[in-house]
Amino acid sequence: MTEPRHDLPVRSLILGPALITLAVTLLRLVGELLRWNPTFFSREPGGAGAIVGIVWLVPVFGGYFAWKLAQSGRRPGSLGRAISIPLLAFALIPATIAVAMKVDQPFRIGVVAAGCVVATLVGLRAWPVLGRTLLAYGLAARIPVVVIMLLAILGGWGTHYEFGPPSFPEMAALPKWFWIGLLPQLTLWIAFTVTVGGLVGGLTALAVGRRAAPATLSPV
């Protein structure tokens, strides 16, 4: 179906969330550099589930994007598809990680990255307009992290941005950045954004749809 002319431009839809996400990223960096409370600003490899982090924003903005799209008449053509496909796509991520555990580092990261590209492509088919929005938001959120990781690795800042996964081999700064920074940020975390954000978005559309008359629906 032809998309209605009152579409929300993706750029304007993600601008506010992208700026909030960047602010959280910079706050996290400052907190680690100044050695603030590790519960909030952990410097352990992987971040150790620190409270201040952008990963927690994915479901929040997934729901927000879905609500804004639904309000503009861009509800999914099938709620079942909008919910089930992100679930399937998300399941590919741990499945790929399980397969990748049979491969040595750093190629393990490459296997995970390949699987996450597939998960992202699957997730984009659930509710395409939401998927495109989440993809754009994911890139806006993760590209600054890629840059910070490069600077942190080159500068030896002592933050979680510099540490690879367990058993990751020693290597020069740029190859290390490629394997633990560029590749996972633009594959694993994009897949996480599209699938988890898509699932929350689908559930949000379900909640919104229960209050909307069928005649007002504009499937996408």
Q: Domain map of the chain by residue range?
A: 10-216
pLDDT tens, position by position, 10-29: 889 999 999 999 999 999 99
Q: What is the pLDDT of residue 166?
A: 81
- Report the distance separating Cα 143 and Cα 30, nearest Å: 18
- Report the distance separating Cα 40 and Cα 38, nearest Å: 5
Residue 75 DSSP label? -
Is 70 exceeded by the pLDDT of residue 74?
yes
Is 90 exceeded by the pLDDT of residue 7?
no
Burial 6-19 (b: 16+ CB within 10 A, else e): eebebeebbeebbe
Q: What is the pLDDT of residue 216?
A: 45
- Helix-strand-coil split of the chain, %, nearest 5: 70, 0, 30
Tokens (6 digits) for 92: 């590919």
pLDDT tens, position by position, 164-211: 888 889 999 999 999 999 999 999 999 999 999 999 999 999 998 766
- Going by C-alpha positions, the residue among 115, 50, 75 that lies closest to residue 217 is 75
Q: What is the pLDDT of residue 9?
A: 85
Confidence grade of residue 213 (pLDDT, cut at 50, 70, 90): very low
- Report the distance separating Cα 118 and Cα 127, nearest Å: 16
Contacting residues for 209 by C-beta, under 8 A, at least 6 apart: 70, 75, 79, 217
Q: What is the pLDDT of residue 218?
A: 47
